[in-house]
Amino acid sequence: MESVLAASPVIKVAALCGSLRQASFNRALLRSAAEICEKSVSGMKVEYVDVSPLPMLNTDLEVGGRFPAAVDAFRQKILQADSILFASPEYNYSVTAPLKNAIDWASRPPNVWADKAAAIVSAGGGFGGGRSQYHLRQIGVYLDLHFINKPEFFLNVFQPPLKFDDDGNLTDAETKERLKEVLLSLQAFTLRLQGKL
């Protein structure tokens, strides 16, 4: 798939990681996605949006129709994004608590996820986080998030050859190419939803 022409508007992608660990492989995927966009996907910019400052969802914190400052800042980032890139590790066959908490805060009226394109990547053992992706797609139905269907991206990080170096940087060329294909698909789908392609 070829990158969309540089004349197209820049697609702003909000990148969210379901793991809070600094050394998370899923967070490393998002770093690599941002680097790939800078180097070889014109017209697309990935910005990491940290979910760790968000308090646990509690509607008592909504006072006078206003959200806590951290929640409001997060919601604004999602609102201003054209599309979303989730890095969703799998905990107990599902999405993680930090990611679900972020999703729920941004879905509070008015729902700022609605009508955005989205993609999911995941890294882990076994199925590479695949079960979390299926749950996230189900959640997206209610949120009016529109996920790309192909390509799917699940990464088993423990199968040789090693995919990351000791500093947590994605080094495997084939995995980088697969990640680039996800980004190109997300870019094209975003433009199509916006009526620009």
Residue 189 has pLDDT above 70, yes or no: yes
Specify the pLDDT at position 140: 97
By CB atoms closer than 10 A (0-12, 13-18, 19+), residue 50 is middle
In a domain, 115, yes or no: yes
pTM of the full predicted structure?
Answer: 0.94
Confirm whether 67 is domain-assigned: yes
At 5 the pLDDT is: 47
Domain harbouring 146, CATH code: 3.40.50.360
**Residue 169 binned pLDDT confidence (cut-offs 50, 70, 90):** very high
- Look at residue 33 and tell me if it is in a domain: yes
Confirm whether 166 is domain-assigned: yes
Residue 6 falls within a domain, yes or no?
no
pLDDT of residue 178: 97
Rounded CA-CA distance 18/148 in Å is: 19
pLDDT of 56 higher than 60: yes
Domain holding 147, by residue range, is 11-193
How many Å apart are CA 88 and CA 147, to the nearest integer?
A: 14
Cβ-contact 185, 192 below 8 angstroms: no
Q: How many domains is the chain partitioned into structurally?
A: 1
Sign of CA dihedral 149, 155, 156, 160: positive
Average predicted confidence (pLDDT) for the chain: 93
User: Quick one: pLDDT at residue 8?
Assistant: 65
pLDDT per position as a tens digit, 70-108: 999 999 999 999 999 999 999 999 999 999 999 999 999
- pLDDT tens across 11-29, in order? 999 999 999 998 999 999 9
- Mean pLDDT across the stretch 169-196? 96
pLDDT reported for residue 196: 86
Give, rounded to a whole angstrom, the gap between the first and last alpha carbons of the chain. 14
pLDDT exceeds 90 at position 187: yes
Q: Is residue 1 part of a domain?
A: no
157 in a structural domain? yes
Which one, of 35, 134, 136, 120, lies nearest residue 83 by Cα?
120
Residues 12/2, Cβ–Cβ less than 8 Å: no
